[in-house]
Structure 1
């Protein structure tokens, strides 16, 4: 049985969860073996604007590259952002085969934009200024996670490239070989080259040829 066939049994669960959680919660089933068209099923897709056949997110690519799914079964309550800037509270469950290989993910994205606005209003109303207040700085132990929910592959690639390029204050044409290698290394770690067209888009952004980018990638191995 193919991984796609194994994932089909989760489609009714997606529909069920979408109805139970309500219209403010999007539920998505991803097929990890088809990154460019990974969305197998989706409930309440109006939250992100995505549909069946859409691609994975930048976070999914990162998880595939760093292998963090091997040591855990899910990640909960991290921040997500939709293309129209909705703030989302997101969680993802890892679907693995009998050998522990990741084959799919069920992701829940709840729109909390209005809740945050109400919270900010209440915080402002209840604010009391106190002198000599010490702030706690204890480490929570939780890993910082963030996700962009893009509608198509081009948007996913663009979001990842922009996030890395923003770290540099100089234009691509003035970057040194070492700096361009650093950019490619960071993009590789984020999984951008797992998507079709990733190499070409990175080449355009760095004002380089596809061949040059492939050469950089090979140097990283």
Structure 2
């Protein structure tokens, strides 16, 4: 009677898992107490995922578990592993080993979720979102206006140097301003005022640095 209650609880759990994840999720219960490898499945939902039904035999995990039990080895749940069906579909699977009231392993709760379609979608998205690598391009941010754009470019110039303007020497400031010039920052109206103020130099010095960067 107690064993029947245990199986009933597992069946209830299986229904909850299958209902939650939908028809692409197979949930099955193996009974390994009799060590009948030809007929271990005592309950299954969404058996179309693997093409199995009640009364079918053991999987590789069941065989490995029985072998481990024979050797007296510790049983560990297998969670989130990948397997493949006979027709090539990819499953994300988990096998959870459960004991009966006597403390012996009797049940294996198997969860097999068909992720083939998701993998195909992921591959399609990768194809769309992958961009060609170009050192002159960067992810950056889309500015709301040219002032934001200038701020973004100034911040990027600081990242290029790796230190704040107060710690930059002359050569490093020239290098930062060189970057701003190549990025077109000085095409923005009154950018010279903002850049010279940011780097703590005069506008005369700024234009001198721009000339040096050209050379």
TM (norm. structure 1) is: 0.51
Give the structure 2 partner of residue 142 of structure 1: none
| Paired residue total | 131
Going from structure 1 to structure 2, the CA distance change for 1:69 and 1:75 (only over 3 Å counts) comes to farther
Give the structure 2 partner of residue 37 of structure 1: 39
Matching of residues 1-221 of structure 1 within 5 Å: 6-33=6-33, 34-67=36-69, 71=74, 74-98=77-101, 100-128=103-131
Going from structure 1 to structure 2, the CA distance change for 1:46 and 1:22 (only over 3 Å counts) comes to same
Contact conserved, 1:25 with 1:111, CA < 8 A, in 2? Answer: yes
Q: For each residue in 1:146-194, what CA deviation from the matched residue of structure 2 results, as whole angstroms up to 9, or x when unmatched? A: xxxxxxxxxxxxxxxxxxxxxxxxxxxxxxxxxxxxxxxxxxxxxxxxx
2:80 alignment partner, SS class: strand
Going from structure 1 to structure 2, the CA distance change for 1:105 and 1:60 (only over 3 Å counts) comes to same
Cα distance in 2 between the residues matched to 1:61 and 1:2: 26
- Root-mean-square deviation (Å): 2.8
Q: Which structure's relative contact order is higher, taking Cα pairs within 8 Å and 6+ residues apart?
A: 1
* Pair member with larger Rg: 2
Runs of 5+ unmatched residues, structure 1: 132-221
Going from structure 1 to structure 2, the CA distance change for 1:60 and 1:50 (only over 3 Å counts) comes to same
Q: For each residue in 1:100-144, what CA deviation from the matched residue of structure 2 results, as whole angstroms up to 9, or x when unmatched? A: 42211111100000111111122233335669xxxxxxxxxxxxx
Contact conserved, 1:70 with 1:100, CA < 8 A, in 2? Answer: no
Structure 1 runs (4+) deviating above 6 angstroms are none
Cα distance in 1 between the residues matched to 2:74 and 2:30: 19
TM (norm. structure 2) is: 0.53
Contact conserved, 2:99 with 2:105, CA < 8 A, in 1? Answer: yes
Cα distance in 2 between the residues matched to 1:129 and 1:90: 35
